[in-house]
């Protein structure tokens, strides 16, 4: 049974999502912050810059780099030199970092970065979907998706604790929906410095660039060695499955707040229809579920918090008794006509005796609103799947035919 979330309302303040995240990064006591401004991540780096200007982050250097490529490259050096490192980006910026993402995970550097998820161009769009982070899914970063501002703020401290664990040493992306979370003002409890100090120990790396004990980082590996590096990365990812759960519980013990570990569930116990999704859309889905439950539609939600590592067992456990699973994706793998969460959910179930039909919908590209009506329509179609089987396996929603 999931712990009950104890939000202390007396500690709540109304702040912008970006501010809550910047504040969270601050109380995690980073030593080096390196970032390049890009909408809608900008407010995070502006708030951090102001903290620096006000002398509020001790023992920290802020590098105003000339590109996202260098933002992450600088953190390769900083992290290898023993610093706790932070960055934030989105969309084109994240795509520009692509090569360095592999580099950081390959060198097992526990960098934490907030992604204010945004669509990728062309056509250029500054609004939210998940295509940017999903495009980086194979780079060896943990990817955690947050439902609301409180969660993404708290996830920052959790991510450091997971990434810096000696058994893991893999970098983390904490993903928040651009604008929908980054630019919204909501009541939140900002991460407390004293509790964070208790929760998150000082980063003490075992391997550091130090003239007193010279080591070579990022050596060249021929075919006799390369495979084993990749294998060890995957082993660390698999260990992270348990670590993410453990850290969510440890976070609850210190702060009294809980959002699920790898996944979270909402009214799934007796659900015939299970909707799966990631990010802020799950809030909307919960409201629709409440409405439909009043009409005796047995529908529940499986919120995926961890997309990497992918929580295969946790998903299997939740969906095994359902009559249909509906996966909503704010991304598409072009050429497969499917979103990534849908593909991977199906893949998780194939070689099992769970024979639940799974259908996928691609929703909310480039910031298009996902409305109650759309989700209700999707649930109605899912009811048909229970009766008549799958007619359309995966499809776009709300396409404006008149524009085609």
Partner 1 sequence: MKSLLAPGHRGCAGCCDAMAAKFALMGAGEDCIVVNPTGCLEVMTTPFPETAWDVPWIHSLFENAAAVGSGIEAALKALGKADKAKVLVMGGDGATLDIGMRSISGAFERGHNLTYVCIDNEAYMNTGVQRSGATPYNASTTTSPSGKVSFGNPRPKKNMPAIMVAHGAPYVTTTSIGYPKDMINKVKKATEIEGPTYVHSHAPCTTGWGFDTSKTVEVAKMAVQTGLWPLYEVEDGEVTKVRKLGKNIKPVEEYLKMQRRFKHLFTMEGGEAEIAKIQAIADKNIEEFGL
* Selected binder of partner 1 within 38, 75, 144, 168 (CB under 8 A): 75
CA-CA distances (angstroms) from residue 177 to 12, 15, 279, 296? 22, 16, 6, 31
Q: Which is nearer to partner 1, 78 or 280 (CB)?
A: 78
Q: How far apart are CA 301 and CA 269, in angstroms?
A: 10
CA-CA distances (angstroms) from residue 82 to 191, 205, 347, 361? 24, 6, 39, 44
Least distance CB 214 / partner 1 (angstroms): 5
Q: Which is nearer to partner 1, 77 or 256 (CB)?
A: 77
Least distance CB 232 / partner 1 (angstroms): 13
Q: Which is nearer to partner 1, 10 or 216 (CB)?
A: 216
Q: Which is nearer to partner 1, 103 or 337 (CB)?
A: 103
Of 274, 392, 400, the C-alpha closest to 338 is 392
- What residues from 197 to 236 belong to the interface with partner 1 (CB under 8 A)? 209-211, 213-222, 225
* Selected binder of partner 1 within 66, 204, 206, 353 (CB under 8 A): 66
Q: How far apart are CA 196 and CA 161, in angstroms?
A: 10
Strand, helix or coil at 32?
A: strand
Q: How far apart are CA 393 and CA 385, in angstroms?
A: 10
Q: Are 360 and 342 in contact (CB under 8 A)?
A: yes
Q: Which is nearer to partner 1, 37 or 77 (CB)?
A: 77
Least distance CB 89 / partner 1 (angstroms): 15
- Using CB under 8 A as the binding rule, whether residue 248 contacts partner 1 is answered as no
- What residues from 132 to 191 belong to the interface with partner 1 (CB under 8 A)? none
* Selected binder of partner 1 within 5, 50, 67, 235 (CB under 8 A): 67
* Selected binder of partner 1 within 52, 63, 195, 356 (CB under 8 A): 63
- Using CB under 8 A as the binding rule, whether residue 59 contacts partner 1 is answered as yes
CA-CA distances (angstroms) from residue 258 to 11, 86, 107, 124? 16, 23, 31, 36
Q: Which residues contact 225 (CB under 8 A, 6 or more apart)?
A: none
- Using CB under 8 A as the binding rule, whether residue 333 contacts partner 1 is answered as no
- Using CB under 8 A as the binding rule, whether residue 103 contacts partner 1 is answered as yes
Q: Which is nearer to partner 1, 217 or 337 (CB)?
A: 217
- Using CB under 8 A as the binding rule, whether residue 32 contacts partner 1 is answered as yes
Q: Which is nearer to partner 1, 138 or 290 (CB)?
A: 138
Q: Are 277 and 312 in contact (CB under 8 A)?
A: no
CA Rg value for the chain:
21
CA atoms within 13 A on the CB side of 301: 25
Least distance CB 167 / partner 1 (angstroms): 22
Residues that bind partner 1 (CB under 8 A): 31-32, 34, 59-61, 63-67, 69-70, 73-83, 85, 99-100, 103, 107, 209-211, 213-222, 225
């Amino acid at each position: 049974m999931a712990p009950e979330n104890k939000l202390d309302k007396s500690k709540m303040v109304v702040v912008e999502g970006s501010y809550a995240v910047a504040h969270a990064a601050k109380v995690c006591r980073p030593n080096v912050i390196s970032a390049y401004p890009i909408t809608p991540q900008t407010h995070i780096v502006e708030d951090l810059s102001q903290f620096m200007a006000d002398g509020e982050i001790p023992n920290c250097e802020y590098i105003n780099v000339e590109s996202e490529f260098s933002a992450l490259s600088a953190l390769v050096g900083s992290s290898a030199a023993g610093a706790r490192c932070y960055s934030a980006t989105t969309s084109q910026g994240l795509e520009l970092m692509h090569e360095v993402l592999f580099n950081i995970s390959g060198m097992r550097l526990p960098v934490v970065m907030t992604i204010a998820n945004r669509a990728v161009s062309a056509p250029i769009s500054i609004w939210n979907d998940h295509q940017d982070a999903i495009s980086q899914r194979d780079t060896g970063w943990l990817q955690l998706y947050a439902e609301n501002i409180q969660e993404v703020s708290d996830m920052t401290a959790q991510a450091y604790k997971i990434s810096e664990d000696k058994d893991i040493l893999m970098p983390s992306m904490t993903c928040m929906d651009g604008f929908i979370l980054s630019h919204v003002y909501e009541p939140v409890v900002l991460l407390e410095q004293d509790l964070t100090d208790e929760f998150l120990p000082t980063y003490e790396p075992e391997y550091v660039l130090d003239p007193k004990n010279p080591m070579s980082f990022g050596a060249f590996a021929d075919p006799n060695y390369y495979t084993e590096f990749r294998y060890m990365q995957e082993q660390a990812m698999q260990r992270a499955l348990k670590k993410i759960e453990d850290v969510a519980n440890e976070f609850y013990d210190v702060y009294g707040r809980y959002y699920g570990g790898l996944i979270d569930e909402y009214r799934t116990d007796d659900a015939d229809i299970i909707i799966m999704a990631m990010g802020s859309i799950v809030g909307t889905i919960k409201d629709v579920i409440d409405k439909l439950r009043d009409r005796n539609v047995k529908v529940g939600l499986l919120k995926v918090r961890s997309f990497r590592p992918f929580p295969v067992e946790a998903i299997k456990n939740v969906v095994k008794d359902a009559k249909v699973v509906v996966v909503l994706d704010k991304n598409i793998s072009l050429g497969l006509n499917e979103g990534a969460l849908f593909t991977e959910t199906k893949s998780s179930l194939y070689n099992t005796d769970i024979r639940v039909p799974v259908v996928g919908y691609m929703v909310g590209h480039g910031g298009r609103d996902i409305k109650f009506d759309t989700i209700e329509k999707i649930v109605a179609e899912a009811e048909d799947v229970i009766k008549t089987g799958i007619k359309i396996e995966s499809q776009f929603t709300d396409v404006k035919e008149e524009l085609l």
